Chain A
Amino acid sequence: MKKATTSQVLADFESLDEQQKNDVLQMLFGQTLKGSQDISKYKAVTMADTVMSMLLPPNGEHVFHSVTRQGEQMPSPKEPLIPFYISPGKYLTQYNQFWFLESLLGSDIIKKALKRRGVVDDQLIERLFSKDKHLYYLNQNRSYLLATSNELLEFDFGTLIPITALEALQQFGLEKMEEAKEKLYVRL
């Protein structure tokens, strides 16, 4: 059997009709998808004849929470589950890193993207951050990544260099960006 790339496998999968997709999923997971409410138990799958591996929520589903300004967020009970998987790449290598995306972009943006295409891969992540208008900053010798610029930070760090969210992602990755957001700045 010829080796296929992740993109080729996904493209082939997308071209199948519903019954064929269910047949493939039956082989992979032992169950079929009957709409978004009926998400099967996931498991990590590595196919020997392809380079594709899928990272899936270990407990079967990822619960997105709504963003509110006050108090505890709760998942909306009426909202259908969104099936997706993570294709590991440059930015995400484990499912337990997925929350970096939610922290930086918010669940709503991610959910909207996943409803169109249920795979989180480097391409999607870069596309999402290319639309993010938030600027990050570097100090002059590029030893710190900052989540904002203000009087106090410029007082401490000197003139700051703005970079786009996409640039921050490509150069430093999700974890550094999240830490900069959480603690104002992070050492690189």
Chain B
Amino acid sequence: MSVLTDEQLEALGPLVQPFERIDFINIILPYEATLFAVETHNVTAAGKPDKVITVTVDTARQRLAQGRYLWIIDQEGLKLILEATPNPKANRGVVCHTNITGGKPALQGGELWFGEDNRVYINYKSGRYGASTVGHRQAVLAYFRLLGFDVVQLPIV
């Protein structure tokens, strides 16, 4: 059962398997589908997270690794995890988007920074669940705003 409305599901969707939108076969390497439930924060269910790493606006605009979070939206809402969360058994050494979903389908995904200016800076950089249409982008921004965020969409360059 989804916490999103039918209109939100339609605007953000459809639900996709990891890498489906980029036409890659679904290759999830070992431990990249391990669910990091404790480290993941569900904003829709629990509200904005209390303790986050904030960065300067410059850091966010440069999309630096410092303070970078991964976000996804699935049927349970918006979820976040700090990208630097260790996943030592995985080749990458840190978590990826499918560690939020347990390898299951999601609607959207990307990267996020909490700015010192109380804004969140987001992009749609996720090979696993990233947006593929302009409509997706608009729906993602709308959903973030609905959850109370003052959201800034980062330009590509």
Given A70-B104, A184-B130, A185-B125, the answer on whether A152 and B28 have CB atoms closer than 8 Å is no
Q: How far is the CA of A65 from the CA of B26 in the complex (A)?
A: 13
User: Please, what's the 1-or-0 string for B18-49, where 1 marks a CB less than 8 Å from any CB in chain A?
Assistant: 01011111111111011000000000000000
- The answer to whether A148 touches B22, judged by C-beta atoms less than 8 angstroms apart, is yes
Decide yes or no whether A14 CB sits under 8 A from chain B: no
Decide yes or no whether B82 CB sits under 8 A from chain A: no
- The answer to whether B27 touches A106, judged by C-beta atoms less than 8 angstroms apart, is yes
- The answer to whether B134 touches A69, judged by C-beta atoms less than 8 angstroms apart, is no
Decide yes or no whether A59 CB sits under 8 A from chain B: no
Interface of B is mostly: loop
Across chains A and B, the number of contacting residue pairs, with CB separation under 8 Å, is 81
Number of residues on chain B facing chain A (CB within 8 A): 34
Decide yes or no whether A67 CB sits under 8 A from chain B: yes
Q: How far is the CA of A104 from the CA of B22 in the complex (A)?
A: 12
- The answer to whether A151 touches B134, judged by C-beta atoms less than 8 angstroms apart, is yes
Candidates B25, B102, B111, B134; contact of A152 at CB < 8 Å = B134
Candidates B17, B30, B127; contact of A184 at CB < 8 Å = B127
Number of residues on chain A facing chain B (CB within 8 A): 32
Candidates A68, A155, A156, A181; contact of B24 at CB < 8 Å = A181
Decide yes or no whether B2 CB sits under 8 A from chain A: no
Q: How far is the CA of A172 from the CA of B2 in the complex (A)?
A: 41
Decide yes or no whether B8 CB sits under 8 A from chain A: no
User: Please, what's the 1-or-0 string for B41-65, where 1 marks a CB less than 8 Å from any CB in chain A?
Assistant: 0000000000000000000000000
- The answer to whether B125 touches A106, judged by C-beta atoms less than 8 angstroms apart, is no
- The answer to whether A152 touches B22, judged by C-beta atoms less than 8 angstroms apart, is no
Decide yes or no whether B5 CB sits under 8 A from chain A: no
A-B residue pairs in contact (CB < 8 Å), sample of 14: A65-B29, A67-B27, A67-B28, A71-B33, A71-B102, A72-B33, A73-B33, A99-B29, A102-B29, A106-B25, A147-B24, A148-B21, A183-B111, A184-B125
Spell out B's residues near A (CB within 8 Å): 17, 19, 21-31, 33-34, 91, 96, 102-104, 111, 124-128, 130-134, 136-137, 156
